[in-house]
């Protein structure tokens, strides 16, 4: 076991430095006036520290697990940030936006994407042991939110390392949005897991629809205002915007819905047919290692006694997901 924790994240500078995929590459943040720059008054918040923008990798993760999760989180941040910028540039004229959010306003979607792209990630913890014994007892689980046992914690099970794909393989290996399993990609899978953490999803993001066809229906149906706070709508949109702008520019890999029998899974934890995940090239920044003593207290303190029980949601295809 490694006696260290790692904070994964993206500094504001790194985000600003990352080139916009489309449109202007110029930073919207211009330098301050000389008068302000020379002021000795402290800033309201020192964004340059970057510290508040980092996820925590629990010491239960060994070196390779840490690398996999770190890279996966960077990919989740990459697609969330890209998706936000896609909307900021194209506004509601984006066909990909319209597909998942209909004629809905862009603001709520931008906001929920930004919760992953740039918001304060302090205290959001990923661990690799199996404190609730779900990895060993639940067949096919690749991870789970600890729910009332520890609301800020997400467990990543060993299955993730053999089934999750890197963002660089988006639109490859036979994948398309309509028939593929988006959760096979670390980026989409971890976006979903992050939205279960109250600090990110604020218990507002939920599962109002899952799976490609349902998402398209949600966007135009009676409950269309739920699309902007629907976990799968946000992660599918982020993945497809990236596919369209970056993976296969101007084309993407939307695919076509085939008759009922397509067996895309709505499940968050299922085993997969895919190959091992590899490292992905991302535009995000270095990890940060901090002593275990400074983070160990929080996870333990948030754990509560049993009794609260599982909080599970069952999807239409019968798969169960326990938060």
What is the contact surface with ligand NAG in residues (CB under 6 A)? 62-65, 92, 98, 103, 132, 134, 146-147, 149, 158, 221-223, 306, 310, 322
* Residue nearer to ligand NAG on the CB measure, 134 or 179: 134
Pick one of 58, 99, 144, 321: the residue that binds Zn ion (CB under 5 A).
321
H/E stretch holding 78:
helix 63-90
The site partner of 321 among ligand NAG, Zn ion, none (C-beta below 5 to 8 Å per kind) is Zn ion
Residue 207 Cβ vs Zn ion, minimum distance, rounded to whole Å: 6
Minimal distance, residue 102 CB to ligand NAG, in Å: 7
Tokens describing residue 189 = 């899978």
DSSP assigned state of 245:
I
Q: Which is nearer to ligand NAG, 77 or 150 (CB)?
A: 150
How many C-beta atoms lie closer than 10 Å to residue 306's C-beta? 9
The answer to whether the beta carbons of residues 145 and 154 sit under 8 Å apart is yes
| Minimum distance from residue 297 beta carbon to ligand NAG (Å) | 20
Residue 318: name its binding partner from ligand NAG, Zn ion, none (Cβ under 5 to 8 Å by kind). Answer: none
- Four-residue CA torsion sign, 43, 73, 247, 262: negative
Total residues in contact with Zn ion, by rule CB under 5 A: 2
Q: Please, are residues 203 and 151 in contact by the beta-carbon 8 Å criterion?
A: no
Residue 296 CB, nearest approach to ligand NAG (Å): 19
SS3 172: coil
| Closest distance of CB 135 from Zn ion, Å | 16
**Contact letters for Zn ion, residues 260-279 (x by CB under 5 A):** --------x-----------
Q: How far is the CB of 92 from Zn ion (least distance, A)?
A: 27
Closest CA to 19 of 252, 284, 236: 284
The SS3 call for residue 148 is helix
Q: For residues 98 and 120, which CB has a smaller minimum distance to ligand NAG in the complex? A: 98
Task: Identify whether the C-beta of residue 142 lies closer than 8 Å to the C-beta of residue 157.
Answer: yes
The verdict on 84 binding Zn ion (CB under 5 A) reads no
Sign of CA dihedral 211, 266, 317, 197: negative
User: In the block, which residue shows the tokens 């913890």?
Assistant: 125
Question: Which residue ranges make up the site for Zn ion (CB under 5 A)?
Answer: 268, 321
């Amino acid at each position: 076991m490694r006696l260290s924790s790692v904070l994964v994240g993206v500094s504001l500078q790194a985000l600003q430095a990352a080139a916009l995929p489309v449109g202007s590459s110029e930073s919207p943040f211009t330098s301050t006036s000389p008068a302000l720059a020379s002021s000795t008054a402290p800033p309201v918040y020192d964004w340059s520290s970057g510290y508040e923008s980092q996820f925590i990798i629990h010491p239960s993760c060994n070196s390779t697990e840490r690398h996999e999760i770190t890279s996966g989180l960077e990919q989740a941040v990459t697609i969330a940030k890209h998706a936000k910028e896609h909307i900021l540039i194209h506004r509601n004229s984006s066909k990909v936006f319209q597909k998942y959010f209909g004629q809905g306003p862009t603001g709520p979607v931008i906001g929920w994407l930004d919760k992953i792209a740039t918001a304060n990630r302090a205290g959001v913890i990923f661990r690799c042991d199996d404190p609730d014994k779900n990895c060993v007892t639940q067949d096919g689980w690749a991870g789970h939110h600890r729910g009332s046992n520890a609301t800020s914690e997400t467990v990543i099970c060993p299955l993730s390392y053999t089934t999750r794909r890197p963002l660089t393989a988006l639109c490859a290996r036979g994948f398309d949005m309509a028939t593929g399993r988006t959760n096979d990609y670390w980026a989409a899978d971890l976006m979903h897991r992050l939205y279960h953490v109250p600090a990110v999803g604020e218990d507002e993001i939920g599962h109002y629809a899952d799976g490609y066809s349902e998402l398209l229906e949600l966007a135009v149906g009676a409950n269309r205002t739920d699309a902007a706070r629907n976990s799968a709508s946000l992660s599918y949109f982020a993945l497809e915007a990236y596919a369209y702008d970056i993976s296969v520019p101007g084309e993407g890999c939307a695919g076509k819905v085939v008759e009922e029998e397509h067996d895309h899974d709505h499940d968050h934890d299922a085993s997969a047919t895919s190959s091992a995940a590899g490292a992905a090239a991302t535009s995000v920044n270095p990890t940060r290692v901090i002593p275990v003593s400074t983070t160990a207290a929080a996870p333990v303190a948030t754990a509560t006694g049993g009794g609260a029980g599982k909080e599970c949601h069952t999807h239409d295809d019968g798969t169960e997901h326990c938060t």
